[in-house]
Structure 1
């Protein structure tokens, strides 16, 4: 009576589509549950999906070959595209500060790991595809594994080689993956104790270091007391004292309770109260020149002037600068700041608006309502998925990843592949707010879902495929020796990274931990470090190095395969 049910959950070499889907869903659901189990402060997270897939594959479960390949590639594309959209806005701006040093350290770690991998291939007589699998697992880099597998498939097609000509690097990847996860965590703890890090002092030093370059936008009330500015316009004062990047959102004359949003031509009188919006260093400079901090409460009244948050959803405002919209002259509404992907930007006239940007505006209620008609402010539209932009961006990424680069002596052209291509496309789209009808806005919930869903599909497909013959391969290739070799790839570059970061570049420990996690693209290590250090500071340096490190790992994995695969 229940033969159909038994059929769905019975391992077979040629599964039907329904059986394949059951295996896929089983690996993801059980893996997600296992990933939440903690050993101390450490959990495997979504990477547990791969180990559950390995176990299912070992038991004989498998998937339809075409479906398995689609799930693996599509999952990887979704994952890297989501990463690119998420970190894109901060990635390019980070190069203006310490990002260059951070990325140099991260990329240096990648290439050192590649050299060690080649030496292991050469000296231990391990097939290069297995060595690349060892490398990808030892640094927990999934896109690198995906790029290696895609390159092997391309070589097989171009040279008419049998499908079993190359070994599956996913097996070596799975064997050394725990080394990468727990190795970096071990080194974070070791570095803190060996270097005798005082966390309170590190936080203090970092605050002092960033004091002059603080990007956070703040507001402050200012009382005008400097006689040199009495009777002058705001524009004249800013020009005379050479003050830039400051916005006056409100003004109240002494002896009145009337508050209004001033233009640059508004005159400043004795004891006027101004609401100033700027970065802390610019704000302090302005107040020192004009007067002193005020405690006036009337200027914060919402009776005459109110503050409202408006989202850019109308096409008439997208890719227009604030100067082009000219909201103040048209509607008597002043924009004080723009929030984009969690970053606060000062509302400079030259600032170009992207779809999904959030504007903080000041003005009377009726004027703000008129401005909303131009800007849009449709929360419903922002919540609805824009599949044209999402899949248009993915098409753009696949095209970039498919461009062949012909290099003499290589058996097949070098391609960025389905990992680096979508990542670069996402970085480009998020940097410029979109390309044509494709825009970069995806709400945070959708980004997290896309990333987790994509990596779960990839891990499940990789695990199920590698699970067949995993035990035999472990015994045949002396898996314990592979783990031993993986330790070289995990620990040598990371140890050098710690020493150079600390003693050459004098980096803060919190920043160094973020670079360590980002250089190995290890979200589990990042999650551990933020809890272990009780701080979100490592997230910043992690996001800074992640994109370039990911692209570098993809290229290194491909080059090793192309140069040395026999």
Structure 2
């Protein structure tokens, strides 16, 4: 009677589609549960899906070869594309600050790990595909493993090699993955103790260094008391005193309660109260020119002028500058700030608007209502998935990853592959707001779902595939020796990174921890560090180095395979 149930859950070498799907879903669901189990303050997180997949594969469960390859590659594409869209804006803007140093340290760590991997291959005669698996596991880098496997398949096709000519690097990856996860956490703890880090002092130094309060866009009231600006237009004051990056959102004359949004031709009168929007240092400069800080409460009244948040959802309003939209002259509505991917940007006339941007506007209610018609402001549309943009972006990424790059002496052309291609496409799209009908906006919930769903598919497929014969391979290749080799790849680059970051570049410990986690593309280590240090500061440097490090790890893994797999 229950024969059908037995068929669904009995391991077989040639599973039906139904059983294959059950195995896949079982690996993901049980893996998520196991990943939430904490040992102290550390948990495996989503990577537990791979270990559950290993166990299921070891028990004899399997999936069709083509199906498991599709699941693996599709999951990887979703994961890296989501990462690129999420960190793209902050990635490019970071290069104006310390991003160059951060990325140089991260990429240097990648290449040092690659050199150590090559030496392991050369000196102890570990097959290069296994060495690359050791490297990817020891630094918890999933896209690198995906790129290595894709390159091995390409070489097999081009050179007509048998399917079992190369070893599966996923086995070495699975063996050394825990070393990468727990190794970086150990280094973070040891570095804090050996360097005698005072966390409270580090926060003070970082705030002093970055002057966070000056980098944030704020608003402040000021009263006009300086005779030098009385009777002049705002435009004249800005030009005469070389004032830039300032927006005056409200103006109120002394002795009245009438508040309005001024134009650049509005005349400044004595004892006027102005609402200024800018970075704190620019506001301080402006107040020094016009007068003093004001405590007037009437200028904040919402009776005459109100503030509202609008979202750009009309396609005809995207990729236009604020000057081209000209909301002030058309509707007497002034844009003071633009929020994009969590970043606040001062609303300069030359700023180009992207789909999904959030505008903070000031004006009367009727005028704002008219301005809404220009940009649409539909929150419902932003909640609906735009599959044209999503899958159009994925197509763009797959095309980029498939472009062959001919390099002399390599057996097959170098390709960015299905890991780096979508990542680069996502970074490009998020930087420029879109390409044609493809736009960069994906709401945060959808991004997190896409990333987690993608990495779960990848980990499940890798685990189930590597689980077959995992124990035999562990014994045959002396898995403890592989773990020993993995420790070199994990600990040597990290230790050097800590020493150079701290003693050569004098980096703050919070920033250094973010670079360490980003260099090993390890979200588990990042999650640990934010809880261990009770701060979100490491997230910033993690996001800064993650994209370039991921691309570097993909290329290093591919090059090692292409150069030495023959």
TM range (shorter): over 0.9
1:108 offset after TM fit, Å?
0.2
Residue in structure 2 matched with residue 38 of structure 1 by the alignment: 38
* Structure 1 partner of 2:551: 551
Question: Is residue 148 of structure 2 the alignment partner of residue 148 of structure 1?
Answer: yes
The residue number in structure 2 matching 1:274 is 274
The aligned counterpart of 2:216 is 216
Q: Distance in 2 between matches of 1:500 and 1:433?
A: 36
Structure 1 residues not aligned, in runs of 5+: none
Give the match for residue 226 of structure 2: 226
- Correspondence 1:529-544 to 2 at 5 A: 529-544=529-544
Give matches, 1:417-456, under 5 Å: 417-456=417-456
Q: Which runs of 5+ in 2 are unaligned?
A: none
1:77 and 1:212 map into 2 onto residues whose CA distance is: 35
Q: Which residue of the partner structure matches residue 414 of structure 1?
A: 414
SS of 2:299 mapped into structure 1: helix
**Contact 1:212/1:281, CA 8 A, preserved across alignment:** no
Residue of structure 1 equivalent to 2:90: 90
Give a deviation string over 1:3-59, Cα, whole Å, max 9, x none. 111110110000010010000000000000100111111110000000000000000
- After superposition, residues 69-218 of structure 1 pair within 5 angstroms as 69-211=69-211, 214-218=214-218
User: Deviation at 1:480?
Assistant: 0.2
> Structure 1 residue 235 and structure 2 residue 235: aligned?
yes
How many residues align structurally? 566
Once residues 112 and 464 of structure 1 are traced to their aligned partners in structure 2, the CA distance between those partners, rounded to angstroms, is 31
1:316 is paired with a residue whose SS is helix
| Separation in 2, partners of 1:290, 1:37 | 59
Partner residue in 2 for 1:13: 13
Q: Aligned partners of 2:212 and 2:180: how far apart in 1?
A: 37
Distance 1:352 1:302 in 2: 29
For 2:366, the equivalent position in structure 1 comes to: 366
Alpha-carbon distance between aligned partners in 1 of 2:282 and 2:258, rounded to the nearest angstrom: 27
Give 2:287's aligned residue. Answer: 287
Task: Report Cα offsets for 1:506-536 as digits up to 9, x if no partner.
Answer: 0000000000000000000000000000100
Secondary structure class of the residue paired with 1:229 = coil
In the other structure, the counterpart of 1:487 is: 487
What is the rounded CA distance, in whole Å, between the counterparts of 1:298 and 1:368 in structure 2?
21
Separation (CA, whole Å) in 2 of partners of 1:533 and 1:240 = 48
Post-superposition shift, 1:281?
A: 1.1
| Whole-angstrom CA distance in 1 between matches of 2:452 and 2:347 | 34
For residues 452 and 561 of structure 2, the distance between their equivalents in structure 1, rounded to whole angstroms, comes to 28
Distance 1:284 1:517 in 2: 38
Give SS of 1:268's match.
coil
TM-score under structure 2 normalisation?
A: 0.99
Cα distance in 1 between the residues matched to 2:129 and 2:66 = 22
Deviations 1:362-396 (A, max 9, x none): 00000000000001100111000000000000000
> Does the 8 Å contact 1:137/1:174 carry over to 2?
yes
Q: How many angstroms apart in 2 are the aligned matches of 1:215 and 1:460?
A: 43
Aligned with 2:353: secondary structure?
A: coil
3-state SS of 1:396 partner? helix
Residue 318 of structure 1 corresponds to 318
SS in 1 for 2:461: helix
Secondary structure in structure 1 of the residue aligned to 2:515: helix
Please name the residue that 1:335 is paired with: 335
Runs of 4+ aligned residues of structure 1 deviating over 2 Å after TM superposition are 212-215
RMSD (Å) for aligned C-alpha atoms: 0.7
Q: Distance in 2 between the 1:316 and 1:24 partners? A: 43
| Shift of residue 212, structure 1, vs aligned partner | 7.5
Q: How much has 1:213 moved relative to structure 2?
A: 8.4
Kept in 2, the 8 Å contact 1:337–1:360? The answer is yes
Q: Secondary structure at the match of 2:160?
A: coil
Task: Name the residue aligned to 1:357.
Answer: 357
What secondary structure, in the 3-state scheme, does the structure 2 residue paired with 1:526 have?
helix
Partner of 1:64: 64
Q: Output the CA distance in 2 between the equivalents of 1:321 and 1:94.
A: 23
Secondary structure in 1 aligned to 2:344?
Answer: strand
In the alignment, the residues of structure 1 paired with residue 549 and residue 80 of structure 2 have an alpha-carbon distance, to the nearest angstrom, of 12
C-alpha separation in 2, matches of 1:254 and 1:239: 25
Q: What is the match of residue 346 of structure 1? A: 346
The answer on 1:22 being equivalent to 2:22 is: yes
2: CA distance between counterparts of 1:502 and 1:115? 23
SS at match of 2:336: strand
SS in 2 for 1:134: helix
Decide whether the 8 Å contact of 1:79 with 1:450 is kept in 2. yes
Give the Cα–Cα distance (whole angstroms) in 1 for the partners of residues 106 and 14 of structure 2: 44
- CA positional deviation for 1:214: 3.8
d(CA) in 1 for partners of 2:532, 2:200: 14
Partner of 1:474: 474
Query: What is the match of residue 396 of structure 1?
Result: 396
Q: For 1:272 and 1:122, how far apart are their aligned partners in 2?
A: 76
Q: Write the distance in 2 (CA, Å) between the matches of 1:443 and 1:202.
A: 34
Moved more, 210-219 or 112-121: 210-219
SS of the residue corresponding to residue 310 of structure 1 reads: strand
- Report the CA distance between 1:64 and its aligned residue: 1.4
For the residue of structure 2 that corresponds to 1:209, the secondary structure is: helix
Asked whether 1:51 is paired with 2:51, we answer yes
Give me the whole-angstrom Cα distance separating, in 2, the residues matched to 1:212 and 1:17: 55
Provide the secondary structure at the position in 1 that maps to 2:276: strand
8 Å Cα contact 1:312-1:357 kept in structure 2: yes
SS of match in other structure, 1:385: coil
Query: Under a length normalisation based on structure 1, what TM-score does the superposition of the two structures give?
Result: 0.99
Q: CA deviation at 1:455?
A: 0.1
